[in-house]
Amino acid sequence: MDRSAPQITSFHPPRRVLMGPGPSDVPARVLQAMALPTVGHLDPAFSGMMEELKTLLRWAFQTKNELTFPVSAPGSVGMETCFVNLVEPGDTVIVCVNGVFGGRQAENVRRCGGTPVIVEDEWGAPVDPDKVRKAFQAHPQARILAFVHAETSTGALSDAATLAQIAREHDALTIMDCVTSLGGVPVLLDEWGIDAAYSGSQKCLSSTPGLSPVSFGERAVAKLKARKHPVQSWFQDLNLVLGYWSGAGKRTYHHTAPVNPLYGLHESLVMLAEEGLEASWARHRAMHEMLRDSLATMGIEFVVRPDARLPQLNAVRIPAGVDDAAVRAALLSDYGLEIGAGLGALAGKVWRIGVMGYGARVENIRLCTAALRDVLG
């Protein structure tokens, strides 16, 4: 093997304005927090920060759930953490699929040895509660309902309160994906009666990618404790992870936590707390409306009906005759602006314009609409 070192120097990323489906723009304050000195992950000072992080996350999720913490991995692992801990071989799980991420939930159920009952809705439509009611009637043995609150692949927002209510009526737990919703629209775990939820650091929280806040309520913990089979993933087994995320003083080694990214998440949540949840939701809505009005003057149409539109993820139809990839490439090279391509069934048909977290600002909306107007001619 050649021992001469590769001639590679430091990486200098270009400056971008991130208006795709995530990651979103990360504010300097969060990046600066991540550049602070690394301490040991069992250092008492770090433990104090972890306790604050749990408090901030409980507030962001609007829950009193003791078991609330960030999984040391991206949103997909938060998703798996919910499924591997709550689904046992033989379980029937009703899974709502109205886009890419509902499909991934169904795949998680299969890989846990469960049987997914798919409730399908058109891509771009919210989950239809009546179909969920019918699925429970047809499959009374189902004990879990899983759905995606904010489908990032389509921009549709589903009615989480109603879905959780239906699950309760059938004595089932709910697993909710709120990767894209947390911080951008109301996410009210306790008020809605959600049993398990997972999110991501890189969307409306505007931290860097790679952390997944999760929260589990008492009913979910009871199901976990009553399992007949051990959780098949060692890393994600909550019984073990908890030894690390339990209160300061009781903390024992499980894995080496991503120390500096956790500083960043802490700072992003401090910024959210300074602004206030309701103010953040209102800002996302106002910026969405500004974008919507500008796009309307260009004749660009939305995929999702108005009452189910996510303010933070605007899926719009690519105008006829327009070269999707060429437009996105021109936005990136001429304006340093990233918007998202369509995903799955909507690939090549839509653009996904993210108005998330720190990116939900007037200057970003102005840049995006001016750049699109210019590039589209």
- Which residues contact ligand PLP by CB under 6 A? 21-22, 74-76, 79, 101, 148, 152, 177, 179-180, 200, 209
Residue nearer to ligand PLP on the CB measure, 151 or 237: 151
Residue nearer to ligand PLP on the CB measure, 343 or 371: 343
CB of 91 to ligand PLP, least distance (A): 21
Give yes or no for a cis peptide into 116 (omega within 30° of 0): no
Give the Cβ contact number of residue 318 at 10 Å. Answer: 20
Burial pattern 342-362, b for ≥16 Cβ within 10 A else e, equals bbeebeeebbbbbbbbbbbee
> Backbone dihedral region of 141: left (phi > 0), alpha (psi from -120 to 50 degrees) or beta?
alpha
CB of 114 to ligand PLP, least distance (A): 19
CB of 177 to ligand PLP, least distance (A): 5
In DSSP notation, 102-143 reads HHHHHHHHHHTT-EEEEEE--TTSPP-HHHHHHHHHH-TT--
Is beta strand 150-151 parallel, antiparallel or unpaired with respect to 156-157?
antiparallel
Q: In this structure, are residues 100 and 142 in contact, taking their beta carbons and an 8 Å threshold?
A: no
Residue nearer to ligand PLP on the CB measure, 202 or 364: 202
Q: Closest CB to ligand PLP belongs to which residue?
A: 75
Residue nearer to ligand PLP on the CB measure, 212 or 369: 212
CB of 295 to ligand PLP, least distance (A): 22
CB of 89 to ligand PLP, least distance (A): 24
Please calculate the CA angle 67-133-306 and round it to the nearest 5 degrees.
Answer: 85
Give the Cβ contact number of residue 48 at 10 Å. Answer: 11
CB of 199 to ligand PLP, least distance (A): 9
DSSP 227: -
Give the Cβ contact number of residue 301 at 10 Å. Answer: 12
Residue nearer to ligand PLP on the CB measure, 182 or 295: 182
CB of 105 to ligand PLP, least distance (A): 9
CB of 135 to ligand PLP, least distance (A): 21
* Nearest residue to 369 via CA among 324, 314, 323: 314
Radius of gyration of the chain from its Cα atoms, rounded to whole angstroms:
21
Residue nearer to ligand PLP on the CB measure, 174 or 369: 174
Q: In this structure, are residues 24 and 203 in contact, taking their beta carbons and an 8 Å threshold?
A: yes
Is beta strand 92-97 parallel, antiparallel or unpaired with respect to 337-341?
unpaired
Residue nearer to ligand PLP on the CB measure, 101 or 358: 101
Q: In this structure, are residues 217 and 196 in contact, taking their beta carbons and an 8 Å threshold?
A: yes
Residue nearer to ligand PLP on the CB measure, 114 or 200: 200
Residue 352 assigned as binding residue: yes
Query: Which residue ranges make up the annotated binding site for substrate?
Result: 352
